[in-house]
Amino acid sequence: MTLLTVIISSSLIGCGQAFAFTLTKSGATQQQRQQLGAFPLTGIATGPASHECASGLLQNSTTKKSRKMGSFVLLLTAAKPALASANIISSAKDLLVSQTATTTSTFLLTRILFLRMLAIVYMAAFSVAKFQNKGLIGDNGILPARNVLDIAEHRAKNKARRRKEWVEERKAYTSPTTIVERYKNNFLDSKAMDLFREKFWYRTDGMERPLPTLLWLANDRNKLNPWLDGLANIGLFLSTIMLATGSANALLILGLYVIQRSFMSVGSVFYGYGWEPQLAELTFHTLFLVPLLSMDPFFGPVPKLVIWASRFYLFKIMIGAGLIKVKSSDIKWKPGKMPANMSAMDYFYETQPVPNPFSRFFHNKPKLWHRFEVWSNHFVELVSPFLLLIPWRSATVAGGLIQIMFQMILISSGNLR
């Protein structure tokens, strides 16, 4: 119940911010704003003055926006006891004052919602990791993590040995000609750099990608199960904090990122699906979305560059998903005169990894409907993503709603996402 109270209270803070913005944009007079409850003192309108002003706005307003604002005042006044019991009025005070004074969006409430949604994703991911990783990559798992670590360490030792031989040959046949070159060679050949290369840079997978993971710190690689459980538990703890508070700092996000990368490095095929690196990439963007140390959810403003980077991240994923379909040799995703053209959705629901109870309902739809689904998929993945990059709010909102609706349809028709 406490967690539920926090979530509902934060939603009401969002209403308060929207109301303060409406006061500025609706044409309410300065006298009306002053009557609405002394924002600097409480953050929420209270008392007879607020009721009188709200009623006056409802009766005398000539615009729809002003009438909505008057109704909202009454709603907030009625919600005053609940807000006070949740101890959030004082935390919302400064935000309401600042939003009354300016119409520039700060994306603070958007960040709170985003962090909570990301926390839910991580709670699901780490819950699965806690209950499945021991059977998949544990000490007696299908593909034990220790095998990945042992192979990577052996590869690193071989690379370090070859480089040492190369350095000896270089010293025998050449000598630095400038002071800069001499200092560069001394730095690159130092023991510290040799240790960095052998313990990190040379520890790679078969595609020569570094394998950063906290499991390198384990003393006994035959007993990694406690490490797997411990990392999952820490991840659950951090994501629970983020969900409960709607806030995070760079240290918390970095913790989530490091744990996710730790599992990805040793997860083999079980962590090779596209959603795992996409989650890590989104978490990396989030590092720059939150304060360095502060856990204040209203610490701001949110950097605009990170907002656009996140939009481009979504644009890149959706465009990539669409292009891989139309550029493939599979005619079921392409228009044409053959019966198989545009027929991908005829078979999708019965061949997806984990169908749900509604999959049968969608599968039994007419073929004409399935053709419409394919065209709709191409529109969502190849056309609508461009709306996310248009610097007009109506365009980005439309693009976001299209993507949300698309994901909800995918979730309702199957568990693929």
Secondary structure (3-state) at 278: helix
d(CA 95, CA 171): 64
Q: What is the pLDDT of residue 184?
A: 86
DSSP string, 21-56: HHHHHTT--HHHHHHTT-HHHHSS--HHHHHHHHHH
Q: For residue 121, which of 129, 110, 131 has the smallest C-alpha distance?
A: 129
Per-residue pLDDT of the chain (417 residues; tens, 9 = 90+): 333 333 333 333 333 333 333 333 344 444 444 443 333 333 333 444 444 444 444 444 444 444 444 444 444 455 555 545 445 444 444 554 444 444 467 889 999 999 999 999 999 999 999 999 999 999 999 999 999 999 999 999 999 999 999 888 888 877 767 888 888 888 888 889 988 998 889 999 888 888 999 999 999 999 999 999 999 999 999 999 999 999 999 999 999 999 999 999 999 999 988 889 999 999 999 999 999 999 999 987 899 999 999 999 999 999 999 999 999 988 999 888 888 889 999 988 888 877 888 888 889 999 999 999 999 999 999 999 999 999 999 999 999 999 999 999 888 888 654
| 73 touches 36 (CB < 8 A) | yes
| Kind and range of the H or E run holding 65 | helix 64-78
d(CA 73, CA 76): 5
Tokens of 3: 């967690």
Tokens of 372: 């419409």
Tokens of 197: 């290369």
φ, ψ dihedrals at 210, nearest 5°: -60, 150
Q: What is the pLDDT of residue 177?
A: 72
| 358 touches 410 (CB < 8 A) | no
**CB proximity list for 238: less than 8 A, separation 6 or greater:** 122, 252, 255, 256, 259
d(CA 210, CA 286): 22
Domain-by-domain residue ranges, the chain?
2-104, 113-286, 304-413
**CB proximity list for 237: less than 8 A, separation 6 or greater:** none
Q: What is the pLDDT of residue 401?
A: 95
Give the 3-state secondary structure percentages of the chain, helix then strand then coil, rounded to 5: 70, 0, 25
Q: What is the pLDDT of residue 168?
A: 87
Q: What is the pLDDT of residue 353?
A: 77
Query: Buried (b) or exposed (e) across 20-33, using 16+ Cβ within 10 A?
Result: bbbbeebebeeebb
d(CA 400, CA 4): 26
Whose tokens are 């390198």? That residue is: 216
d(CA 144, CA 147): 6
Tokens of 81: 């006891």
| 138 touches 223 (CB < 8 A) | no
Separation of first and last alpha carbons in the chain = 29
Ramachandran category for residue 218: left, alpha or beta (phi over 0 → left; psi -120 to 50 → alpha): beta
Whose tokens are 């109506």? That residue is: 394
d(CA 46, CA 38): 9
